[in-house]
Structure 1
Amino acid sequence: MDSGKARATPSFSAVRTKRAFEAVTDQIRTQLANGLLRQGDRLPAERELAEQFGLSRNTVREGLRALEVAGLVELKKGATGGAFIRRGQAEVVVSSFSDLYRLGAIRAEHLTEGRLIVGTAVTRLACQRATLEDIDLLQENVDDSAGSDAQTALSVNLDFHRLLARATSNPVLIVLTDALIGVQRELLKIYEPASQIDVIASRRRLLTHLRSRDEVAAVSEMEQHLRLLQSHYLEEDFRYRRRVAAEAKAAGEAASDEA
């Protein structure tokens, strides 16, 4: 729990609504926004919460589980258990982006455009803020990729962008990059990756620019690399959708013949 100056004790008011559990989640979110609850804090016991909200324990439990799914609360069992405010994590955002991709709400053109915008912004800021340790980690990533088999190199190459985002020290850009890379991993389950040789060459040029703090050259290198990736994956997407359409047409014709 935060050891700073004393805070007011969070308290909750009785709920009168048809969807009572949503009011539970709303009030807890409000307490977080107001600073009355912080990362690592333990919420009152379920029985006490039920009394404060004026609700059944089942309804309070439903609200806590909704917050657990949202990634805000961690429910622990045992004598030292309870409901705890989770420390900031990006997993929920990453999984949400991946789910949107699986549902078809995010397509290849959306992903590549998003990566271009975020990737160039990350590169600009990393060029300004990256420490020598950050650059060493990026160099180690490139060396690992160059010495790996194709499948391993693919995963290592994606991690490069996550390391670059961490060099910005900006949690928003870190979360966005993690989410976009999460979708990219899904996309690569059906599309052929870009040339490993081209990726490594671009990484090495980028590292040179990062070390010299040449922001313009670094951003230009990243933009050129991501535009090439954009072109590659849009072509892959076109071929994939054409193949799927042809297979669906063939299946329809076969079913028609059988009928």
Structure 2
Amino acid sequence: MTDPVFEPVRSQRAFDVIIGQIRAMLRSGELRPGDRLPSERALSEQFQVSRNTVREALRMLEISGLITLRKGATGGAFIAKPDPGVLANGLSDAIQLTAISLSDLTEARLWVESMIVRVACERMTEEHLQALHDNVEQAGKLSAQGDWERKAVVHIEFHNLLAQATGNPILSILMRSLTEVVREIGIAAGPATDDVTLRSRARLLGHLRRRDADQAVAEMEHHLRRLHEMWLTGAYEGSRTPR
């Protein structure tokens, strides 16, 4: 590929202009994953700004997951490959920084997870079903061992596995963002020491195996509403969840 050519920065917000031009080239396809950006010196000349300004812009692009910075003779700034994890974390941070209530979160989960369950019933493979089965089995073993904290983590991962079964990366990113918020609430509330979720998971797996979307959705919605009530009423000892 030929080196991208950037326009000189004419604004006092040089930092934002640099990032904006690079983002625009990514959207247009002029820059693609794996492409190497010009050196800091070349970028500073093209943008007509200091190298420090270029360096800070590149650092922000790296934090956002759009580029990777490598050191050494073969190093430089490279357009990163898409990383759903970075996108999910960014969305999760945005959700947590917004003034949301527990009711807002549960309502969003009911909508999103109901859709995910229906799509998964249509598209999931035997491998997906096995992964879900293994997850529930692992949670059962941790419950028997009294390892409530690790069991809670496994329970949350079940939702991410279910989203992956849809084959839609956007749904997976959205679900991972929501489950990260749920994880934070779970930490504040404290782990549950009962097997209510395990029993619900067993019923849900049965519906999924039969591709019974209506029953699977009903089970998921019942579980999410019950969990909401437990958090809302402080059924978990030491709960500090939002009301």
Per the shorter chain, which TM-score range?
0.7 to 0.9
Q: Which has the larger radius of gyration?
A: 1
| 2:188 aligned counterpart, secondary structure | coil
Given candidates 41, 63, 66, the residue that maps to 1:47 is 41
Return 5+ residue gaps in structure 2 as ranges: none
- Cα distance between partner residues in 2 of 1:120 and 1:62: 42
- Cα distance between partner residues in 2 of 1:141 and 1:105: 32
Matched, 1:77 2:92: no
Q: Please, what is the CA RMSD of the aligned residues?
A: 2.5
Q: Which amino acid aligns with 1:204?
A: A
| 2:189 aligned counterpart, secondary structure | coil
Q: TM-score, normalised by structure 1?
A: 0.83
Matched, 1:123 2:123: no
Alpha carbons 1:94, 1:180 under 8 Å: kept: no
Question: 1:144, CA displacement in angstroms?
Answer: 0.3
Matched, 1:191 2:189: yes
Distance 1:37 1:186, change over 3 A: same
- Cα distance between partner residues in 1 of 2:86 and 2:27: 20
Matched, 1:132 2:126: yes
- Cα distance between partner residues in 1 of 2:86 and 2:235: 26
| 2:4 aligned counterpart, secondary structure | coil
Return 5+ residue gaps in structure 1 as ranges: 1-6, 245-259
- Cα distance between partner residues in 2 of 1:195 and 1:227: 18
Question: 1:8, CA displacement in angstroms?
Answer: 7.1
Give the aligned partner of residue 24 of structure 2.
30
Matched, 1:173 2:168: no
Question: 1:116, CA displacement in angstroms?
Answer: 1.6
- Cα distance between partner residues in 1 of 2:212 and 2:184: 33
Matched, 1:159 2:154: no
Superposed CA offset, 1:104-145 (max 9, x none):
623322222222221111111111111110110000000000
Given candidates 197, 212, 215, the residue that maps to 1:214 is 212
Distance 1:109 1:59, change over 3 A: same
Alpha carbons 1:97, 1:182 under 8 Å: kept: yes
Give the aligned partner of residue 148 of structure 2.
150
Superposed CA offset, 1:59-87 (max 9, x none):
11121112122221221111121112222
Alpha carbons 1:98, 1:186 under 8 Å: kept: no
Between Structure 1 and Structure 2, how many residues are aligned?
Answer: 236
Alpha carbons 1:46, 1:57 under 8 Å: kept: yes
Superposed CA offset, 1:132-164 (max 9, x none):
101100000000000102222111100100111
Q: TM-score, normalised by structure 2?
A: 0.88
Alpha carbons 1:122, 1:164 under 8 Å: kept: yes
| 1:78 aligned counterpart, secondary structure | coil
The alignment-based identity, stated in percent, is 45
